[in-house]
Amino acid sequence: MTELHQENPNFRHVRIYDISRPVTTSTPPWPGDTPFDLQWSWRMDAGDSVNVSTLTMSAHTATHIDAPFHFEESGARAGELDLTPFWGPAIVLDLTASLSPSAVIDCPHFADIDLSRAPRLLLHTGAWTDPALFPTQIPTLTKEAVSHLAAHGVLLIGIDLPSVDTLDSTTLPIHRALGAANIRILESIDLTNVPAGEYELTALPLRLMTADGAPVRAVLRTL
C-alpha cells in the first residue's frame, strides 16, 4: 500500500491510498498461470528514439477484477462491464483480529456496518502475510455471507487475497454466487495500513474487450 497526498491546498486534508499490488517479475502468479514479464522492443540506450516495452502477463496478475466470463461460459467479459461498481463510496472492514487462514467470513462479520452508505465492501483479512509468496491457505466467504451482501445492495466485494474461493476449489461456488447476485469481484488488493472506514474507491479495469479479467490500479480517497 502506498499513501499519496494531494498537492492542491484545497484538498490538504484528503489522502489517497494506492491499494494496488506492485507488478514486477517477482509478483507471484497463481500456480501454473502466466508470470509477469517485460521485454524491451526499443531502447534509447541502444540508439532508438524511444523506450518501448512489451508485457506478458495473466489477466489475473496482482490487483485485478474477475469478469463473469472467468467462471461462467455465458458471462460478460471484462471490456463489457458497467463501470458503476468500480467507482464510488466504499467501506474498508478490518477483519485482521478475527480471522485465521482457515476461517470463513460470514454474516456476523458485517453486523455492525451500514452497507447502504457505501455499497462497495473491501475486506482487510491480513491473511496474505508474505506478498512475495503465493499463499497456501486463505479465509473465504460463505454463501450465506454473499446472500447477506446481495440483500443489502452491495455492488462490489474486494479482498486482499488472490481469490474469494478456497485455493483448491475447481467449482468456484463463491465466484458463482457473487456473479448470480451481480456483485463484482476485486481481488489481491493491498489494505496494509489503511484504516477501517469509508472512502471513495476507484478501481477501473482495463477495457480488454474479450478477456475474463483485467488488471486495475485501485485507489482509495478519504472523504
Instruction: List the strands of the sheet with 184-187, edge to edge.
Output: 2-5, 15-18, 219-222, 197-202, 87-94, 120-124, 156-159, 184-187, 64-66, 213-215
- Helix ranges (H only) for the chain are 143-151, 173-180
pLDDT value of residue 6: 52
User: Domain 2-222 maps to which CATH number in 3.40.50.720, 3.40.140.10, 3.40.1480.10, 3.50.30.50?
Assistant: 3.50.30.50
- Cα(130)–Cα(44) distance, integer angstroms: 36
pLDDT value of residue 221: 98
DSSP annotation of 138 reads: -
Domain ranges of the chain: 2-222
pLDDT value of residue 117: 87
- Cα(161)–Cα(64) distance, integer angstroms: 11
Residue 88 CB burial class (10 angstroms; 0-12, 13-18, ≥19)? middle
The whole-number mean pLDDT for each consecutive block of 10 residues of the chain, a chain of 223 residues, reads 55 88 97 98 98 98 98 97 98 90 89 91 96 95 97 98 97 98 98 97 98 98 95
User: With the C-alpha atoms ordered 87, 54, 3, 130, is the resulting torsion angle positive or negative?
Assistant: positive
pLDDT value of residue 9: 58
pLDDT value of residue 12: 64
**What are residue 199's DSSP bridge partners?**
90, 222
- Cα(95)–Cα(105) distance, integer angstroms: 9
Residue 70 annotated among the catalytic residues of the structure: yes
What does pTM read for this prediction?
0.93
Query: One of 60, 70, 124, 175 is an active-site residue; which one?
Result: 70
